[in-house]
Structure 1
Amino acid sequence: MIPLSEFIDRDYAYIAVVAVSIFLGGFTRKIKNVETKKLFTFLVGFTIVSAFCGAEVLHSLITIIIGTLLIKQCSNRSMPKMVFLFSFLYRIFFCLSSFFTSWRDDRNLANGIQLVLTIKMICVAYEVDDFRRRQANENAHANGHSNGVGNGFTNNHNNITTMDKHKTFPLNEEPSYFDIFCYMYCFLGIGTGPFYRYRTYHDMIFLPQHISKPLPAVDHIISRLSILTMLIIVSVGGGMLFGVKEMKSDEFYERSFFYRFFYVLPIGAIGMSRYGVIWFLSEFGFAMSGLGVYPETMKPEPGRGPTNFHDGNDDIWGKKIARGLQYSFESTRNVYIVQGLTAKTYAKTFRWWNCTVQWWLAHFIYASKLFSGKPVFIRWLAVAIVSAVWHGFKAGYYFSFVGMTYVAFAEFLLLSQVGARLNKNARVVFDLVHYLLYKAVGIGSFMTTFSLSSYSDVMRYLASVYYGIYGVATASIILSVITSVVFSMIPKETVKREKTE
């Protein structure tokens, strides 16, 4: 089987996939029969995977078949952990296979598809586990007993904390083998994201016709076209003038230090824009299909879905459309350009980027009981390492994600130990320098190391700019420590008087 990637560049292949999603998304919304809609989303998705991956479609089949068997055949409490372990181990095998076999072809879409399938499989396993626990608890209460497995909508997973901000809209029935296969191979977001939970997919499949017909999907798309146009201009126009390929040439390193140091600015803008374009187009396909749409009163959030819900509200829409009903598409929104640009810190900028996957990481890694009680920095580091491993075994991923934690930690120290102690005039200068180095250069460096990928290319560049943002971060930590020590020796009354003046 010869994949289409042999004839189509990978970037164009992604565009083709999201174009199909937008076109067929509207058709999906019009299908009345639930089983027909499931089958249609499955067949289109499987066709896309087969067409763009060739023989490597076997990777997705192995992931889905074994993962589904574990979910359906294992009824003990360790089931979701087993699925988590299997999914990530197979993801690691998939990434490593490119080093010891010729079967892997980085030109096709198999890597992107495996990325999405890995976290979807883990998520549906925990959703099923939560459903079983709630059912067991309800049966126990009905029999006059309490088995302590959790209640209501607490999502009391055996390795997930039960903080309110991590509660999710639960399943109202356990999915069948066919349901899980359809969810995993659903053509919407396959290989491109954004990520969405099984419950979100379920609600799209069961979207009633009295809601799907008047759904303002086109209006939602039109409202976001201006930002998409800006992203396309930056991506295409900037790509004609700047590129990572230049950074791999000898001529690049003959340029001045300042040219090399600030070259990450356009690389960051171009890279972020390209991902933004793909995600925006994918979201348009979601909107056309009705995936991720909920009443605004349910206050849905990216990845997580509805946050304002209560027992017995599985009838999301009701039989009649309420006058003035407002719709929300936030469940599948993956990037917030304006909020990201205006965020004041390096760390907060990333909160508005790849938001659906960030929810997955926050829910399954950051809030995991495995790290309960651990310092925030340790949880950040755990999230960064899982993110890097999830992406693969190219050095650039580790410089980007693990390095991001180091830079964020340095920024926190700099702001709290140095910035907070400056007077108003000095703070203006400090904020400008901080924005340039951490926001602009920092974000650009993240995307640059991610794009350069190989250890030799990353290290060659970093060495030529005295390790760039990592050098800045190290200097910030040293300055913060010195400032903290010096100010600890000065009487507090003197510090307050000088800061006021």
Structure 2
Amino acid sequence: MSIDDVIYVICLLGCIGAGSYVKKITDEGQRKLVSTALGVLVVVIVSGLHSLHCFVSLALGTAAVLLVHPSKGHLVTFAVMFGYLVFFRIFDFYLGIPGHTNMIQMILTLKVSGIAFEKTAAWKRLQAHDEQKKNDQRDVHQESPIEITDYDVELQNLSAAEILHYSFNYIGVLTGPYYRYRTYRDYFEMPFKTHAPTVEATLEKLKYAVFYCALYLATNYMWPLDYALSDEFFNDRSFVYRLLYVWPTFFTFRARIYTGLTLSECVCTMAGFGAYPDESDPNNGEGPRKRYQHLKRDADKHTYNFTTIVNTRVLEVERCWTFREGMKHWNVCVQYWLAVNVYKLFPSKKYRVGSFCDLPRTGATLLCSAYWHGFRPGHYFCIMGAPFYVSLEDMWDKLVRKSATGTSRRVIDVTFWIFKWFAFSYLGEAFLLSSFGNIWRFYSSVYHIGYVSWAVMTALGFYLTSQRKAAERRKKRAAEKAAGGDGIAAAIEKEKAQ
């Protein structure tokens, strides 16, 4: 492990330990100050002078949230925070910035622009509610179909201090998970943290974190990524060895990510952050999807979960059969942010491509994700390549998997699972190799077999699909012809009988 990784793990373990202390602070104002102070301390320890980037971008983003009218505030804040990533990464390119500082800046970008999107959405609800009250001639005592809450009003009166506290809260400041401002506010206003099984949940996650870390250290020792950049790898190793090397290197990458994300979740669970009653139906990143404020009256009588802060469903990623399912379970809190603030708000009808109105906004969402991850070619090779494989997978799912049953279905499922991990590993290798030169050298050494085989399978899939559709049309015409012949015969028989 590098010295940066050691410092990173120590900071995470320190944050986990601080959770039991922070949770016991009875004064909510004091708890908020302590949480922010710890967050700033962690940022400075990890980043040193580079932490100035975080403070400067936060100041610019906060100004956009507070000074720009809510109707445009989300767009301006988005442009400011994501625009600052350009300056930040140019600075990194020439002078170098610790890798974990990049993660801090990435999470900060989502938080500040996310609170601007929340504020704008709340403002629109308030405007629609006021307009309805003016124009509606119904009984004034009748309940309005547009629901507004105190939270909607509170968002319109945000202060710079609150945005600062939310952005630098030590919970999630290093690698996330992303959570809404509402989740942050609930932590200080709701009693759920006191009754949630914080210690049990943390110990359970820590066991998995130790397991993932052991896997990472072992596989990184046996199959280091640096070896895939060496002359020996390209000159002395066979084509099969080079091709199969994508499996252990991507497995190492997954184990590393699982370790960091699980430790980050432990920071949340130890402090009771993100704990909600099961009845509130919490979702990853979003929080409760049902009304939950009334549940605080008998908070000790409910069962709790930490679904809100679960960023990757590890077992589901590993066990699911298809690439599409794997994507749904990976980095789900960030996916929630992208879905709500990019995918759903993208003007798809305006930029419709024929009948495929979903294509532009899917592309825009993935492009935003790649941009957020970084500017290196590997990020775009990996993330922008995913939808093409998913389309191929969907096509073959309809051709051979959907209608299969019994032993055939199990065999096909396993085959899809193997292809899923090959696709993840092959595309992920580009993410890890990062630069175009390294990517091209590696892909050329395996004759671009991934892209070539996918292109062949796509062409074959189109051919088989067209053949199946043609067979269905012939069958339909034959059935119609038979039905027509039966009708004529019945008419003749009827005429004879008369």
Structure 1: which 5+ residue stretches go unaligned?
Answer: 1-6, 155-168, 496-501
Instruction: Please show how residues 410-489 of structure 1 align to structure 2 within 5 Å.
Output: 410-417=392-399, 419-420=401-402, 430-437=412-419, 439-489=420-470
1:261–1:137: structure 2 CA closer, same or farther, 3 Å change rule? same
Structure 2 residue corresponding to 1:120, chosen from 96, 111, 114 = 111
Q: Which residue number in structure 2 is paired with residue 279 of structure 1?
A: 261
Structure 2 residue corresponding to 1:338, chosen from 289, 295, 315 = 315
Tell me the CA shift for residue 117 of structure 1.
Answer: 0.5
1:443–1:398: structure 2 CA closer, same or farther, 3 Å change rule? same
Contact (CA 8 Å) 1:92, 1:389: kept in 2 or not?
Answer: no
Structure 2: which 5+ residue stretches go unaligned?
Answer: 138-144, 477-498
Which protein has greater RCO, CA pairs closer than 8 Å, 6+ apart? 1
1:322–1:400: structure 2 CA closer, same or farther, 3 Å change rule? same
Q: Which residue number in structure 1 is paired with residue 496 of structure 2?
A: none
Q: Which residue number in structure 2 is paired with residue 58 of structure 1?
A: 52
Q: Which residue number in structure 1 is paired with residue 250 of structure 2?
A: 268
Q: Which amino acid aligns with 2:209?
A: L
Query: 1-side partners of 2:385 and 2:346: how far apart?
Result: 24
1:300 aligns with 2:295: no
Q: Which residue number in structure 1 is paired with residue 327 of structure 2?
A: 350
SS of corresponding position for 1:480: helix
Tell me the CA shift for residue 233 of structure 1.
Answer: 2.7
SS of corresponding position for 1:78: helix
Q: Which residue number in structure 2 is paired with residue 158 of structure 1?
A: none
Contact (CA 8 Å) 2:280, 2:289: kept in 1 or not?
Answer: yes
Tell me the CA shift for residue 486 of structure 1.
Answer: 2.9
When normalised by structure 1's length, the TM-score is 0.85
Contact (CA 8 Å) 2:285, 2:337: kept in 1 or not?
Answer: yes
Q: Which residue number in structure 2 is paired with residue 38 of structure 1?
A: 32
Contact (CA 8 Å) 2:123, 2:152: kept in 1 or not?
Answer: no
Query: 1-side partners of 2:255 and 2:117: how far apart?
Result: 33
Tell me the CA shift for residue 17 of structure 1.
Answer: 2.2
Query: 2-side partners of 1:322 and 1:27: how far apart?
Result: 21
Contact (CA 8 Å) 2:206, 2:262: kept in 1 or not?
Answer: no
Q: Which amino acid aligns with 2:72?
A: S
Q: Which residue number in structure 1 is paired with residue 491 of structure 2?
A: none
Tell me the CA shift for residue 55 of structure 1.
Answer: 2.0
SS of corresponding position for 1:224: helix
Contact (CA 8 Å) 1:127, 1:171: kept in 2 or not?
Answer: no
1:363-419 CA-to-partner distances (Å, cap 9, x unmatched) read 112212422565334333222211111111111101110011221122122222455
Query: 1-side partners of 2:116 and 2:294: how far apart?
Result: 23
1:16 aligns with 2:5: no
Tell me the CA shift for residue 141 of structure 1.
Answer: 5.8
1:205-226 CA-to-partner distances (Å, cap 9, x unmatched) read 2233xx4444310111233344
Number of residue pairs matched? 463
Q: Which amino acid aligns with 1:152?
A: E
Query: 1-side partners of 2:162 and 2:123: how far apart?
Result: 16
Structure 1 residue corresponding to 2:296, chosen from 297, 305, 317 = 317
Q: Which residue number in structure 1 is paired with residue 98 of structure 2?
A: 107
**% same residue:** 25
Q: Which residue number in structure 2 is paired with residue 398 of structure 1?
A: 380
Tell me the CA shift for residue 127 of structure 1.
Answer: 1.6
1:198 aligns with 2:192: no
Tell me the CA shift for residue 228 of structure 1.
Answer: 3.0
Structure 2 residue corresponding to 1:84, chosen from 78, 82, 97 = 78
1:217-276 CA-to-partner distances (Å, cap 9, x unmatched) read 011123334433432232121111112111001111231222111211111211111111
Q: Which residue number in structure 2 is paired with residue 290 of structure 1?
A: 272
When normalised by structure 2's length, the TM-score is 0.85
Q: Greater shift after overlay, 228-237 or 370-379?
A: 370-379
Q: Which amino acid aligns with 2:116?
A: A
Q: Which amino acid aligns with 1:482?
A: Y
Q: Which residue number in structure 2 is paired with residue 27 of structure 1?
A: 21
Contact (CA 8 Å) 1:196, 1:332: kept in 2 or not?
Answer: yes
Query: 2-side partners of 1:171 and 1:53: how far apart?
Result: 36
Instruction: Please show how residues 180-219 of structure 1 align to structure 2 within 5 Å.
Output: 180-208=163-191, 211-219=192-200
Tell me the CA shift for residue 493 of structure 1.
Answer: 7.2
Query: 1-side partners of 2:446 and 2:416: how far apart?
Result: 18
Tell me the CA shift for residue 16 of structure 1.
Answer: 1.9
Structure 1 residue corresponding to 2:147, chosen from 145, 152, 164 = 152
Query: 1-side partners of 2:214 and 2:153: how far apart?
Result: 42
Q: Which residue number in structure 2 is paired with residue 223 of structure 1?
A: 204
1:289–1:175: structure 2 CA closer, same or farther, 3 Å change rule? farther
Contact (CA 8 Å) 2:280, 2:288: kept in 1 or not?
Answer: yes
Q: Which residue number in structure 1 is paired with residue 358 of structure 2?
A: 376
1:202–1:255: structure 2 CA closer, same or farther, 3 Å change rule? same
1:377–1:412: structure 2 CA closer, same or farther, 3 Å change rule? farther
Query: 2-side partners of 1:216 and 1:242: how far apart?
Result: 39
Query: 2-side partners of 1:124 and 1:39: how far apart?
Result: 20
1:256 aligns with 2:238: yes
Contact (CA 8 Å) 1:388, 1:397: kept in 2 or not?
Answer: yes
1:389–1:358: structure 2 CA closer, same or farther, 3 Å change rule? same
Tell me the CA shift for residue 446 of structure 1.
Answer: 3.1
Q: Which residue number in structure 2 is paired with residue 163 of structure 1?
A: none
Q: Which has the larger radius of gyration?
A: 2
1:42-89 CA-to-partner distances (Å, cap 9, x unmatched) read 111112212222222221112111111111122341111111111111
Q: Which residue number in structure 2 is paired with residue 159 of structure 1?
A: none
Which structure dedicates a bigger proportion of its chain to helix?
2
Q: Which amino acid aligns with 1:128?
A: K
Contact (CA 8 Å) 1:418, 1:480: kept in 2 or not?
Answer: no
Q: Greater shift after overlay, 192-201 or 124-133?
A: 124-133
Contact (CA 8 Å) 2:36, 2:165: kept in 1 or not?
Answer: yes
Query: 2-side partners of 1:419 and 1:287: how far apart?
Result: 40
Q: Which amino acid aligns with 1:124?
A: I
Q: Greater shift after overlay, 34-43 or 463-472?
A: 463-472
Query: 1-side partners of 2:265 and 2:472: how far apart?
Result: 56
Q: Which amino acid aligns with 2:435?
A: S
RMSD: 2.8
Q: Which amino acid aligns with 1:93?
A: F
Q: Which amino acid aligns with 2:19?
A: G
Structure 2 residue corresponding to 1:132, chosen from 123, 133, 136 = 123
